[in-house]
Chain A
Amino acid sequence: MINNKKFNIRIFTQIIFFVFILLISINKYLGITLLPEGSLHSLCPYGGIETFISFITAGTIVKKIHESALILAALILMLTLLFGPVFCSFVCPLGSIQEWFGKIGKVVFKKRYNHFIPYKFDKYLRFLRYITLIWTVYLTTQTMRLVFLEVDPYFALFNLWSDEVTIGGIIVLVSTLLLSLFVERPWCKYACPYGAFLGIFNKIRLFKIRRNSSSCINCNICDNTCPMNITVSNKDKITDHQCISCFECTSEYKCPIEKTVTFSTKKEGVK
């Protein structure tokens, strides 16, 4: 029998999606007919968010973005309303590669890893990504161009070999990967506009991370294990805009007490 604590389905899914996106991005050289057609722009859900305002107000789509991006954005929004930003934790290749770099940092810095930035600063820095969100959507709507492309680390990651890659994108990508050696998912925490957008729905999503305080032994493992540094141990349910539904804090993974931290629609015993 497969033990989920050993066989991490999330990491397995991350690898599958990473390879899938990689294959799509190099498919013009490979020519695999089964893979989706079109550029990476056509499969970028954030492109759907960026072009949404112009699509609604003027019926036009920003250059390089296509209808498929709007559809993907809608499907991921549906997932988010049900389960939170599982796109970030299970699918996003940029999130995955940050985690993989972070594993090196964990080996090097051990318990200090992911705790370098003092909380008094960190709590404000977490809102920087909303500035990125507003800035990119505003400028994209005004100019009808993908302005974010100039600094987009996700696009740079899968276009390092193409002439479409930008210097800004490479700089942000390299900086992000280097920072991942000290901080878990730095791009997601401080800069990702799509993560910022999806995080808003943590307040109203159907399935939430819930803690059963009656069985909790206050070991704080859930707090220490959260990649996004959310304090789980003093809450009954997690509605923090930074939660990415990664399951790391749950009883299925790190919480040592069964049925104490769960991913559920409502607290057990509460109707």
Chain B
Amino acid sequence: MKLKSLYIPLVIIIILFGGVTISKGLGIWITESTKIPKTISSGTYAGEYDPSDIRGSYTFDDIYNSFNISPEILAEAFNIITDKPRDFQVKSLEDMYSDLEVEVGTDSVRRFTALYTGLPYDSDEILPQQAITILYSNNKISDSEMESLLENTIILPTITDDTSTNSNSASETESVINGKTTVKDVLKYDISLEQLEELIGIKIDDQSSTIRDLCQENGISFSTIKNSLNELMSE
């Protein structure tokens, strides 16, 4: 059987467009993400939605539908001021916080979701201090877990969903208190030595000491001081 070239476009159109039409009829022609993450296939959590499959195209509402975390909590955790937290797309975080030294984006939302729901997700992604506070205040993490997370965190600037920031830019308000932060470092953030001494409740002689060491030497909770200091710095 011979075939002329004239028939090839006809066959192409019939097979391609016919196939697409049939698959549309069968409901299998899907050109957009279903916004439902895959489920964990094995182990204790088999059948649960997998936080690692959260994608940048998901909105906070999509996460709510699968993981039952309210969009308002997610917005608060990532310091986003918006009238419509349900419509906020996860991938917008990366653009909004692109000025920060550390990346806050889809991976951060995955880790937050995993910690909030208790589902497994292997990651050492940095979480913003606001997110850690929410996890702790909702009894999703223990004291020790909070301290561990606060070892390496960041305070997010306040962001509105149209990507405009408030009076403080990201770089201006970015401040990190961790185990290596010294008294001298803290004084750079418009916090006086007297304020610091009052906060910790001790007299500070050596400005090169780390805040953590001072707390440990005097039996004070480092994480409590750290939170208070971060609040002071963000003011």
- A residues lining the B interface (CB < 8 Å): 4, 9-10, 12-13, 36-39, 42-43, 58-60, 63, 66-68, 71-72, 74-76, 78-79, 82-83, 86-87, 90-91, 207, 245, 247, 250, 252-253, 262-266, 268
Contacts and interface: CB of A to CB of B under 8 A. Distances in A.
Interface residues of B, dominant DSSP: loop
A108 B49 CA distance: 60
Contacts of A63: 55
Given A38-B32, A71-B19, A71-B23, A252 B12 contact: no
Contacts of A66: 30-33
Contacts of A79: 11-12, 15-16
A4 B4 contact: yes
A207 B28 contact: no
A57 to B, nearest CB: 11
B46 interface: no
Contacts of B41: 58
B16 A72 contact: yes
A42 B9 contact: no
Given A60-B38, A263-B3, A36 B31 contact: yes
Contact of A37 (B16, B31, B55): B31
A252 B5 contact: yes
Nearest to A7: B6
A83 B41 CA distance: 40
Contacts of A9: 5-6, 8-9
Interface string B164-183: 00000000000000000000
Contacts of B1: 207, 264-266
Interface string B18-39: 0110010000111111000010
17 contacts: A4-B6, A9-B9, A37-B31, A38-B31, A43-B31, A58-B38, A60-B53, A68-B29, A71-B19, A75-B15, A75-B19, A79-B12, A86-B8, A90-B9, A207-B3, A247-B8, A253-B5
